[in-house]
Homo-oligomer: A and B are copies of this chain.
Amino acid sequence: MTDFWNDLPEVKRRLEAVSAEMSATVRSAGFPLAEELTRVVESDGKMLRPGFLLLASEFGRPGRADELAPLAAAIELLHIATLIHDDILDESPLRRGEPAFHVRNGVKEAVLTGDWLFSQCFRLASGFSTPENARRFALVVGIVCSSEIRQDLDKYRYSKSVRDYLRKIAGKTAALFSLAFTLGAVEGGCDPWDVNRLRRTGYNIGMAFQVIDDILDCESTEGVFRKPVGKDVSEGLCTLPLILALERDDGSLLGMLKDPPFDRGTIDRILERIRDSVALETSRLAALRYTERALREIAALPDKPARLALRRLTERLLVRAY
């Protein structure tokens, strides 16, 4: 686990229980690639989604968070399953600075391992939550898959509107954050108003998170974020910065996008055009708007220690782009 949770020792302690649950799951029931998958599970993730799930539960019954490790493990294993499949589909060689799972174990094993992880998530969700939440869990996984398919079908099509973009990231990213908050809130026994508030908090954090991710893809250097710059552009994704840059394009940017696959030089020229426009600035404003909405929801939550923690985390997580 990273140092992300260092100043919240309570959450950190519980996340260690979640990690233990994840490792136990992977080593259970004779899974043939347990060793290899343990490497992934124990690698350096921030554990954002399980952390938020546990924090959300604290607005309900005190101490309930201690019983939610299996459900929190389910949502992080789900995240890992989607990363393993994504890396195959994007042909990404690296994940968290290490060779991706499919590179070490083959595509076939990686597809099946992702499938196996899905099954374990549902096993945990159906064993350790209300049937309603198990159903909600499955529903959101469906939304994430649908959104990924829609994104892929729209590749190299650059006439997309901001509205389409927002709908896509709502499905592929915000839905999962929103689920983490909702599961925690419902299982924690929050009242319906607070459940809805926490659900919206998760949604807005997720939206801001994805917009920032898309901004970083246009500006960061590989060393720092361990992710190749311009990956979205090279894959033909139409992210918010690109959409905004295209809005004021004289046709030359669109011209560069005509002939995929793009070589490194073209990608760099496209990124330069995005950086030279107001697109990144405007995208940052969009992220800020979602962040503010999240903070407003948080401010209206009951006055408990978890509220301050949630505010600080949100600021820290989402401030990285401004």
**Are A142 and B116 in contact, with the CB atoms below 8 A?**
yes
Which partner residue on chain B sits nearest A124 by CB separation?
Answer: B138
Structural contact, B89 and A146, CB atoms closer than 8 A: no
Q: Mark A111-143, 1 if CB is under 8 A from B, else 0.
A: 111111011101101110001001101110111
Asked if residues B85 and A149 are in contact (CB atoms below 8 Å), the reply is no
Q: A27-35, A41-49, A54-62, A204-212: which lies at the B interface?
A: A27-35
Q: Is the CB of B152 within 8 A of A112?
A: yes
Chain B contacts for A89, CB-based, 8 A: 107-108, 111-112
Collect the chain B residues with CB atoms within 8 Å of residue A134's CB. 122, 126, 131, 134
The main secondary structure of chain A at its interface with chain B is helix
Question: Does residue A232 face the partner (Cβ distance < 8 Å to B)?
Answer: no
How many copies of this chain does the complex contain? 2
Other-chain contact of A115, B107, B114, B127 (Cβ < 8 Å): B114
> How long is the Cα–Cα vector from A134 to B120 in the complex, in angstroms?
12
Q: Mark A9-28, 1 if CB is under 8 A from B, else 0.
A: 00000000000000000000
Task: State how many residues of chain A have any CB contact under 8 Å with chain B.
Answer: 41
The residue from B88, B109, B126, B127 contacting A149, defined by CB atoms under 8 A apart: B109
Q: Give the B-binding residues of A (Cβ under 8 A).
A: 29-33, 85, 88-89, 107-109, 111-116, 118-120, 122-123, 125-127, 131, 134-135, 137-139, 141-143, 145-146, 148-150, 152-153
26 examples of A-B residue contacts, CB within 8 angstroms: A29-B139, A29-B142, A29-B146, A31-B142, A31-B149, A85-B111, A85-B112, A88-B111, A89-B108, A89-B111, A109-B149, A109-B152, A113-B145, A116-B145, A116-B149, A118-B119, A120-B138, A120-B142, A122-B134, A123-B135, A123-B142, A126-B131, A126-B138, A127-B131, A127-B135, A131-B134
